[in-house]
Chains A and B, each alone.
Chain A
Amino acid sequence: MGSMSKMGAVWRSAGSSVAGRLFLDRQAEFWMGEVDPVRSLRELRARVLEVIEETRDTKTFLLRPNGAWRGHRAGQYTSVEAEIDGVRMRRCYSISSAPSEALVSITVKHVADGRVSTWLHENLRAGHVLGLGAPAGEFVLPSPTPDKLLLLSGGSGITPVMSMLRDLAVRDAIENVVFVHHARSHADVIFGEELAELAARHAGLRLVLCLDDDASSPRGFDEVYFAKLVPDFAERSTFLCGPKPLMDRAERLFESVGASDRLALERFTPALRLLPTLSFLDGVQVRLGRSERNVVAKGQGSLLEQLERAGERPAHGCRIGICHTCKCRKQSGTVQNLVTGEVSSEPDQEIQLCISIPRSDLELDL
């Protein structure tokens, strides 16, 4: 094991040199992939061992990651990379398994117009290989575990809090946990059976399901009903994840009783501020991640010209979109390609600065 990590360190230092790029990035990587597609010197990949149908629109993928996986904390997410018609696309999904489990699982709800979730549901089978990202996110169970916990979720937002509950169960630490989950119907409750089993086995777990088709309770999240269900919610360390209306209302409720500091939440879709077509001339905020600077890009011309006016000196060449020297990774935000008119609003897309104009605030890997 020690010699393996030493070898890894030698490889990493060689990796930046010409020889490393030639021999390791190209040839060693190629032959490792030929032997077994899940193996890689550079990339985090995983093999799918099993696909489990959870509900009519949700599947769990049980994954065995390669040696680059360093484990996760309960509540974190990973990015999943799928190659769809030749293009690699990434999406973030919460990890639903507990950190101590040998296999990693992600649970994915099929979104009707979502390219990646559709592809995962329709094409991904046992034996296939997927790209993964390093686990990330601050939505995690604190250590030591708080005395009184509330896990509050809706729909597929159950995945990160399920990881927390499973973690507590494995550590036999379910002392005083209330789990309130919202779903359309009984059949739509992801992990329904396992939740019922855990509740039967652990006296410290109180499970409440709020179902839309249940006539005796209100539809969706209801403040009054919720306060009756969990009268001491303001005293509980609360972990919230679910659809936006649920999260917004729950957040306001916690604010109104002064319990915001006990509420942790995970939003699946970051609020994107797309500007109206013309007002981008007034300027957008650009976060340059690598140099840790914030600048305002404004005025006429391409994003490259705007950045230059803001005092930045990004690498560039032809300035007409042919040489790809100014290519950089856009971590978030929307830009439009001046040549093709194509709009890029997905996270982690490569863009060419010299033929892009910003359409929203941006985060760039510069």
Chain B
Amino acid sequence: MNTQSKHLTREEADAFGRELDALRQETVADLGERDVAHIREVIRTANRSEAAGRALLHFGLGPVSFVLGTSALGLSKILENMEIGHNIMHGQYDWTRDPALDSQRYEWDNVCTGDDWRHSHNYEHHTFTNILGKDRDIGYGFLRVAPEQEWKPIHLTQPIIATFLALFFQWGVGGHDLRIDEFFSGKQTPAELAKRSRPFLTKAAWQLFKDYAFFPALALGNAPRVFLGNLLANGTRNLWTFAVIFCGHFPEGVQVYEQAETENESRGQWYVRQLNGSANIEGNRLLHVLTGHLSHQIEHHLFPDIPAARYPEMAPRVREICARYGQSYNTGSFRRQLRSVIGRIVRLSLPGPKAEAKSMSSAPEEAAAANFAAAGRAAA
């Protein structure tokens, strides 16, 4: 599975890109009522789940209703952040012209502001995916997730730091676009940081107020229970989103790129980089919806603004195209990918291994042949 992708010439990459463009066109032409029906159904489920969860927490007594209420609230937050918020903000439903599904106006239930997210994620991360020094999502600037990143002594602590990041993931996401590292390195003035922080602080204050003051106060005697339920629901969502997102870009086999090699990149080469910078998680429909279809991270990075629920049906076609061009398609079970990510975070906390000098061109024929055989087996 971790066979290296064959290095494609610009012409080959462009031909590869044209095939993906054709698949994209075909899907776009077919978008319609069922896509809108799907996202509205998920929105309805998330809202009802939140209402049920809050009702159980507010009016229930005893541990059973507490567990059920917290789970329902956590589920609604996961659905809202992943399948609804993330995907709507990507512009996946802009073609519907429904203001409730408008990428530029949507605000999600997360301390990260919609505007910050649209900048740091939709623009920076999706445009410069896995380019060292340009994609600030590679280890978020403080974790070493690729051997190409320079080792520093601080990385010895990264297993502990990553655990904290997992527990408080929404705060990591929320603070990401403030570029605090640039403040410490002198690239950002205190005034700039203050200006940049204001929308985040406003949003964070509202989120804290809503979950830890307003709703507990509404519950009167049940306030501590509601407080704790909200905390656990937010924490569950944090752990889940952390796991899904880390499995999307940091498992073994995912490539990172140097800035120099991506200069004057063509649209086809951009596709090649998106493919090789992402990894999928295998699973059933429930898993796909709960991950916001980021379990199809590869398809998401190739087609970030196509409704994510279409990825499962596009995936076999993408895989077939990849096989023909000798490109590796990184996929595995959730357990396998997560183990790979955790192993990597632990291993790279120590210096080394020496980054191999771009082994992409090594024995490309064998890699392609192996991959083709694998795809053939999968098809059969």
Contacts and interface: CB of A to CB of B under 8 A. Distances in A.
Interface of A: 17-19, 21-22, 25-27, 29-31, 34, 42-43, 83, 85-89, 317-318, 320, 322-325, 327, 339-340, 349-350
Given A18-B107, A317-B127, A318-B127, A86 B122 contact: no
Contacts of B199: 18
Contacts of A26: 100, 106-107
Given A18-B107, A29-B100, A86-B36, A323 B123 contact: yes
Given A30-B47, A83-B36, A320-B267, 12 more contacts: A19-B206, A21-B107, A22-B108, A30-B43, A30-B44, A34-B47, A86-B37, A317-B119, A317-B123, A320-B127, A323-B118, A339-B21
Contacts of A340: 25, 28
B113 to A, nearest CB: 7
8 contacts: A18-B203, A22-B107, A88-B97, A323-B127, A324-B94, A325-B123, A340-B28, A350-B97
A322 B127 contact: yes
Nearest to B204: A18
B203 A322 contact: no
Query: Which residue, of A22, A87, A317, A324, has the highest number of chain B Cβ atoms within 10 A?
Result: A324
Query: Which residue, of B47, B91, B95, has the highest number of chain A Cβ atoms within 10 A?
Result: B91
A88 B126 CA distance: 28
B206 A87 contact: no
Contacts of B267: 320
Interface in B34-91: 34-37, 43-44, 47, 90-91
B25 A324 contact: no
Given A324-B90, A350-B97, A22 B109 contact: yes
B31 A327 contact: no
Contact of A323 (B97, B114, B126): B126
A87 B305 CA distance: 16
Contact of A18 (B37, B43, B113, B127): B113
> Which 10 A-B pairs have CB atoms at the shortest separation, nearest pair first?
A324-B91, A317-B123, A86-B36, A21-B107, A88-B97, A85-B32, A323-B122, A318-B127, A323-B123, A86-B33
A86 B127 contact: no
Contacts of A18: 107, 113, 199, 202-203, 206
Nearest to A324: B91
Given A22-B109, A25-B107, A324-B103, A318 B123 contact: yes
A111 B270 CA distance: 44
Nearest to B91: A324
A325 B206 contact: no
Interface in B259-291: 267, 270
A18 B208 CA distance: 13
B335 interface: no
A86 B32 contact: yes
Contact of A27 (B31, B33, B47, B106): B47
A350 B94 contact: yes
Given A26-B107, A86-B33, A320-B127, A325 B94 contact: no
A17 B205 CA distance: 12
Contacts of B103: 324, 327
Contacts of B127: 317-318, 320, 322-323
A86 B126 contact: no
A320 B107 contact: no
B112 to A, nearest CB: 11
A329 to B, nearest CB: 9
A84 to B, nearest CB: 9
Nearest to A86: B36
A219 B28 CA distance: 47
A31 B159 CA distance: 43
